[in-house]
Structure 1
Amino acid sequence: MRILHTSDWHIGRTFHGSSTMDALAEVLAALTEQVRENAVDVVVVAGDVFDSATPAGAAYTLLGDALVALHDTGATVIVTSGNHDSAARLGFQARLLRDGIHVLTDPLAIGEPVTVNDADGPVRFFGIPYLEPAIVRQHWADTELRTQAQTLAHAMDIVRQGMQENPGRSVAIAHCFAAGVDATIGLEREVRQGGLDVVPLAVFDGPDYVALGHIHGRQQISGRVRYSGAPLHYSFGEQNKPRGSWLVDLDATGLSSVEWLDLPIPRPLVTLTGTLEEILSDENVAAHADHWVCAVYTDALAQTEPMRRLRERYPHCAMVQHQPTETAEAVERSYVDRLRGAVTDPQRIEAFLEHVRSGQGATEREGELIREVLDDRVRAEALI
C-alpha cells in the first residue's frame, strides 16, 4: 500500500498581512498531481487543516476542493484535527462527505480504525485528533491526564488495544511535539508547558508507521515516526526548509520504504543583510525582486522610510529590521552613566544622541547647530 503523509495546511493563514490562499491552492494542486502520478492509495493529513478555529468561508471552499480533487485520484483521504482547528467545525461535515473521505475528530473513536484493504490484506489507520488534556480528561476520569505527554500516551494505549482487536498492518496519526524535534521559534503554537508536554518516542511503539503533524519542517524522529511539515513557508525562520510530503510504502510485513517528494514553492523567501544601499543594489534586486524579502539593514543609524524604499524595488518585501553592526564602546555604558560624566550642556546632548543612536553622536553639522542654539539661549538669558 502506498501512503502520502502531509500535514499543517493552515488554510486561511496570512503571511505578514498577505493572503496565502492562492499559493496554497497551487501547492495542493501539485500535491494532488503527485498522488495521481505515484498511484497513492491513501492520503493522510495530520492536523492543522485550518489556521483558525473560526475559518472564513473561502477556507472551507479551498478545503472542499482539495479533498474532492484528492478523492478523484482514486485515493482514500484521512484527515485529523490539530490544535489550530476547531474539532467541532472541522468534523461537522464528516457525515456529509463522500465515501472514501474520512475526517477524524472524535477522541472517543481513537480505537476504531479506518480500514483500507490492498492485495496483502487490511491496513488500519488510527486517527488521534489533537487532545487538550483539560478538555478530554472528562472522557477518561480514571486516568491522570495533566500533560500532552500523558494524554498521547493514553491515546496510544487505546490505539494498541485497537490494533489487537483489528489485526493487520497499522498507521497512527497524531498532532503533537515529539521528543527530538527542531521547532521553528515563534511559529508552531505551543502545545506544551515547559518540557512536560514533549511526547517521548517510546509512546509511539506499535504501529508500522506514525504520521505526525504540528512541526512545520520535515523531521525524521525514527525510521517509522516522521513529520511531513507544512506545504508552504509561513515564516522567514522556515525559508531554508524544504516543502513536501512523505511517500510511504507498506508491504505484506509492514513498513517497506519512505521517500520524500518535494513540492513547488510559489514564492521563495530570502533574508538580505547589509547596509540599506547594499540591499537595494541592482545585483540583489535582479536576484530577488520576485521573492518574499526580509531586509536586515546594518547601517549605524536608522534610515528614513526604509520599508517604502525597499518596496519600490522589492514589491514583496514583508519585513525590515535595523541591526547595526558597528556599535561604539559607549553603547555598553548605561544612559545614566553617560549623564553622570557629562558636565556641560553640549556633553549632555552628546550623551543623549549616543544613547538613542547606538553610540553615534552628533555629526559635524549637527554639532554646529547645537552650539548655535545653546549660544542663542545664553544670549537670551543674559538680556533677562
Structure 2
Amino acid sequence: MRLLHTSDWHLGRSFHGAGLLDAQRGFIDELVRTVTERRIDVVLIAGDVYDRALPGVDVVALFDDALVRLRNAGAQVVVSSGNHDSATRLGFGGRLFAEAGLHLRTRLDEAATPAVFERDGHSVAVYALPYLEPRMVAERLGVAAPGHAPVVEAALALVREDLAERRAASAVPVAAVVLAHVFAAGGKASTSERELGVGGLDVVPVSHFAGFDYVALGHLHGHQELAEHVRYSGSPLPYSFSEAGHSKGAVLVELSADGLRHVERIEWPAPKRLAVLRGELDALLGDSALAWAEQAWCQVTLTDSERPGQAMERLRRRFPDTLVLAFEPEGRAEGAPKTYGDRLREAEDPLGVCEGFVEHVRERRTSDAESRLLRDVLGAAAAAEVSA
C-alpha cells in the first residue's frame, strides 16, 4: 500500500505580505500529479491545513477543490488538525465524510479510532492524533506532569491498546501508521512555525513513537528524518526566509504485510526562489552574479557603515520583490554618525539634540538642508514661546 505523507499546508498564508494562494494552487497541482503518477492509495495531512482558525472563503474553497481532485485521482485522505487549525471547524461532518473517503481526526476521543485500509492480504491502521494542547486534554488523559510529552505519551498508550486488540483479532497482518503534530526531539525549527510551548515543555522524545511502522509528523516546516520510520514531510511551500535552503515536497511510504517496505522523498518545484542577500548596497546592485535574484523574493541585509538613502527604492529597481530590508553596519567610516547617547552628551544646543535623534533613528547624518530646516523649526518654536 502506498501512502503520501504531507503536512503544514497553511492554506491562506501570506509571505511577508505577498499572497500565496496561486502558489498553493500550484503545489496542489503537483500533489494531484504525484498521486496519479505514483498510484497513491492514501494521502496523509499531519495538521495545519489552514493558517488560521477562521480561513477565508476562497481558502476553504481551495481545500474543498483539493479534496475532490484527490478523491478523483483514486486516493483516500486522512487529515488531523494542527495548532493553527480550528479543530471543531475542520472536523465538521467527519463521520459522514468518512463514507466518501475523507477521514478527519480532530478530537482526542478519535485518536485511538483508526482509518483502516485493506490491500493485498494485509491492512493498514492509520491513527491520526490531532494537536493536543496540554492544558485542554491533560485531565482527560489522567496526566499530571506539564508539557506536550506526557499528553502525547498518554494518547499513544490508547493507540497501542487499540492496535493490540486489532492485531489479535485480525486474520491478516496489520501495519500501524501514526500522524502527530508535535515538536519532536532532534527536529530543527524555522522561523515560520508558531511555538507550542516554552522552556522545552513542547519537546516530545522520538522514543515515544517506538513500535509503529511509520510516524508521519507535522509542525516543523523542513523535511527531516528523525528515524527510519519517523519523519517530518515539511511544508509544501517555504513560509519564511529561514527556509531558503529547503527542498519542498512530500514523503512516499510503502507498506506491505511485513511492515515498512520503502520510504522515498518526493520533491516539488518551487514556484519562486528565495534570496537571502547581504552586503553593501552598491556592491549588491552591481554584482552580475546576482541576476538570478532579480526574479526571487529577497531578504536583504545592508552592511554599509552608514544607512544609504532611499535604500528600498534603489534595491527594488533591480530586485523588485525585495520583501525584507535590514541594516547591520559592519564598520563605521571616519566621521560617521555617533551614537544617540554620544550626541546627547555632547550636544551644546537644541539643534544638536534634534540632529542626534534624527541620525539615531535613520542611521544617517542630517544633510545641510535638513539641518537648516531643523534650525528654522526650532527658531519658530522659540519665537512662538516668547510671544506667548
Note whether the superposition's TM-score is higher than 0.5: yes
Q: TM-score range by the shorter chain?
A: 0.7 to 0.9
Query: How many angstroms apart in 2 are the aligned matches of 1:344 and 1:120?
Result: 89
- Look up the equivalent residue of 1:20 and give its one-letter code: L
After TM superposition, give the deviation of residue 93 of structure 1 in Å: 3.5
Residue in structure 2 matching 1:182, options 179, 188, 192? 188
1:317 maps to which of 305, 313, 322: 322
Seen in structure 2, the aligned counterparts of structure 1 residues 359 and 37 have a Cα distance that, compared at 3 Å, is closer
2:177 is matched with which residue? Answer: 171
Paired AA for residue 136 in structure 1 = V
Bigger mean CA deviation after superposition, 267-276 or 209-218: 267-276
- 1:330-373 alpha-carbon deviations (Å, 9 max, x no partner): 99x97556765x49679x7799489738998789x79xx89xx8
Residues of 2 paired with 1:175 and 1:330: CA distance?
54
What is the rounded CA distance, in whole Å, between the counterparts of 2:363 and 2:46 in structure 1? 50
| Cα displacement (A) at 1:104 | 1.0
Maintained 8 Å contact 2:308/2:364: no
Alpha-carbon deviations, 1:92-131, whole Å to 9, x = none? 1424535211111121021111100110311100010001
5+ residue gaps, structure 1, are: 378-384
Name the SS for the 2:236 alignment partner. Answer: coil
- Partner in structure 1 of residue 272 of structure 2: 267
Hey, what's the Cα distance between the residues in 2 that align with 1:330 and 1:114?
Answer: 70
Quote the offset at 1:58 in angstroms: 0.9
Point out the more displaced range, 76-85 or 189-198: 189-198
Q: Distance in 2 between matches of 1:116 and 1:314?
A: 50
Unaligned runs of 5+ in 2: 168-173, 380-388
CA distance in 2, matches of 1:14, 1:265: 15
Q: Distance in 2 between matches of 1:315 and 1:276?
A: 15
* Whole-Å separation in 2 of the counterparts to 1:238 and 1:221: 18
TM-score by length of 2: 0.86
| Contact 2:143–2:151, Cα closer than 8 Å, also in 1 | no
- 2-structure distance, mates of 1:234, 1:191: 17
Distance 1:48-1:354 versus aligned 2 partners, 3 A rule: closer
The letter for the 2-side match of 1:94 is G
Matched, 1:112 2:113: yes
SS state at 2:255 partner: strand
3-state SS of the aligned residue for 1:102? strand
CA distance in 1, matches of 2:140, 2:255: 33
Alignment of 1:51-70 (within 5 A): 51-70=51-70
Counterpart Cα distance in 2 of 1:329 and 1:173 = 59
- Counterpart residue number, 2:32: 32
**Residues 297-308 of structure 1: matches in 2 within 5 Å?**
297-308=302-313
Q: Is the 8 A contact 1:124 1:166 kept in 2?
A: no
**1:231 match:** 236
Deviation at 1:297, TM superposition (A): 1.5
TM-score, structure 1 normalization: 0.87
Corresponding residue number in structure 1 for 2:360: 356
The aligned counterpart of 1:143 is: 143
> For residues 243 and 365 of structure 2, what CA distance do their matches in structure 1 show?
38
Provide Cα deviations, 1:134-173, integer angstroms capped at 9, x if missing partner.
1123433x33263111110111111111110111111000
Pairs aligned (count)? 368
- Residue of structure 2 equivalent to 1:101: 102
Does residue 209 (structure 1) correspond to residue 214 (structure 2)? The answer is: yes
Q: 1:95 to 1:343 in 2, by over 3 A?
A: closer
What percentage of aligned pairs have identical amino acids? 40
**1:5-51: CA deviations, max 9, x gaps?**
00000001111112111101101111110111111111111000000
Secondary structure, in 3 states, of the residue corresponding to 1:280?
Answer: helix
Checking the alignment, whether the CA contact within 8 Å between 1:301 and 1:357 is kept in structure 2 is no
Q: Deviations over 1:245-282 (max 9, x none)?
A: 11111122111121111011001110121222222237
1:77-98 CA-partner distances (Å, limit 9, x unpaired): 1110000000001011424535
What is the SS of the residue equivalent to 2:295?
coil
1:166-220 per-residue CA deviation (whole Å, 9 max, x = no partner) reads 11111000001001111013x2111122112210111111210000000000111
Match of 2:71 in 1: 71
CA contact (8 A) 1:123 1:169 kept: yes
